Amino acid sequence: MDADNDAGTGGAPLTLWRGEQKPSRFGYEYRVAVLAGFRYEAADGGSGRTTGDASIQSEGKTKIEPIVTYQVWQLGSQRFGSKNVELSEADKARMDTELAVLEVDRVRLKIPYTYLGVKPGARIRVAYLDVQQSATQESSLSTDQTLALK
Amino acid sequence: MGEPSKLDELVRFAIKIGARGLQLKAGQEPMAVIAPGRLSPINHPPLSQEAITAMGAEAAARGSSRYGPVEARFTCSSETIAVVISRPA
């Protein structure tokens, strides 16, 4: 997400491979990582959750539910210099029920403006990347879209 | 819920390290494709030709319903950006 809609500012450029070429996209300030995972209950009475996993061992678990969550990262000037934006305790508590909801055939997210440093009336630029798809094919970073925040 | 398959296991690892794909050759250690021409070993025993063929058949059977691209739609409300992620019809 380019929070100020200015390609001249932001973190390290996104460098993508397309065949033998290596084009870059500039000006994004934040990355929102949407992660699959599971919430489970164990046979010994415990419970837990995993994040960033596409599968889970079922042995020893009495209940397993797929979930999604997201993390917000502020991009740094270096490719690996991103900084995690800490969500409030209230937002962590409503992550599963309001902010990141997994439905039968889709995922619905709500990302509060405050984590992106933007306010109503601002215009931001967004693009998205299907990481799983990119693991098996060429990069699939979408074209940019501009959003006018209400 | 079943146990993860060999294909799941390798794809999961490739995703975790940010690889763009897998290179599988019978009798050789599977390699993660970091970028065109750049391979990295993934510390997995060599696979037989039969195992590779079975994984290929599994991937083909899953088709785009599991590994196809997704699309994201963005809308704005008063204080939040709403995103709906789904697969194109």
Chain A nearest-CA distance from B49, in A, is: 20
What confidence category does residue B37 fall into, taking pLDDT thresholds of 50, 70 and 90?
low
pLDDT at residue A132, as a whole number: 60
pLDDT at residue B66, as a whole number: 45
What token pair was written down for A6? 């200015």
Question: Which of the residues A35, A41, A134, A138 would you substitute to probe the B interface, choosing the one with the greatest number of B C-beta atoms within 10 Å?
Answer: A134
pLDDT at residue A22, as a whole number: 64
Q: What are the Cα distances from residue B47, in Å, to A16, A128, B7, B14, B31?
A: 30, 34, 11, 16, 11
Helix, strand and coil content of chain B, in percent to the nearest 5, comes to 35, 30, 40
pLDDT tens, A48-57? 988 877 677 7
Q: What are the Cα distances from residue A38, in Å, to A20, A88, A98, B22, B56?
A: 37, 22, 17, 25, 27
Please indicate whether, in this complex, the C-beta atoms of A137 and B2 are within 8 angstroms of each other. Answer: no
pLDDT tens, A20-55? 566 788 999 999 999 888 899 999 999 998 887 767
pLDDT at residue A95, as a whole number: 94
Please indicate whether, in this complex, the C-beta atoms of B69 and A54 are within 8 angstroms of each other. Answer: no
Please indicate whether, in this complex, the C-beta atoms of A113 and B81 are within 8 angstroms of each other. Answer: yes
Asked whether residue B3 carries a pLDDT value surpassing 60, the answer given is: no
Please indicate whether, in this complex, the C-beta atoms of A57 and B3 are within 8 angstroms of each other. Answer: yes
Q: Does ipTM surpass 0.85 in this model?
A: yes
Asked whether residue B25 carries a pLDDT value surpassing 90, the answer given is: no
Closest CA to A80 of A124, A115, A31: A31
pLDDT tens, A60-99? 889 988 899 999 999 998 877 899 999 999 999 999 899 9
Asked whether residue B6 carries a pLDDT value surpassing 90, the answer given is: no
Residues of chain A with Cβ-Cβ distance to B87 below 8 Å are 105
| Residue in A closest to B2 by C-alpha | A58
What token pair was written down for A127? 């693009």
Please indicate whether, in this complex, the C-beta atoms of A132 and B79 are within 8 angstroms of each other. Answer: no
Which residues pair with residue A125 across a beta bridge? A2, A146
pLDDT at residue A136, as a whole number: 42
pLDDT at residue A43, as a whole number: 92
Question: What is the C-alpha separation between A87 and A111, in angstroms, rounded?
Answer: 10
Please indicate whether, in this complex, the C-beta atoms of B82 and A109 are within 8 angstroms of each other. Answer: yes
Tell me which residue in A57, A113, A142 faces B79 most closely, judged by beta carbons: A113
Q: Is A150 helix (H, G, I), strand (E, B) or coil?
A: coil
| Total beta-carbon pairs less than 8 A apart between chain A and chain B | 102
Burial of A146 from C-beta contacts in 10 A (0-12 / 13-18 / 19+): exposed
Closest CA to A74 of A65, A87, A62: A87
Closest CA to A23 of A146, A138, A147: A138
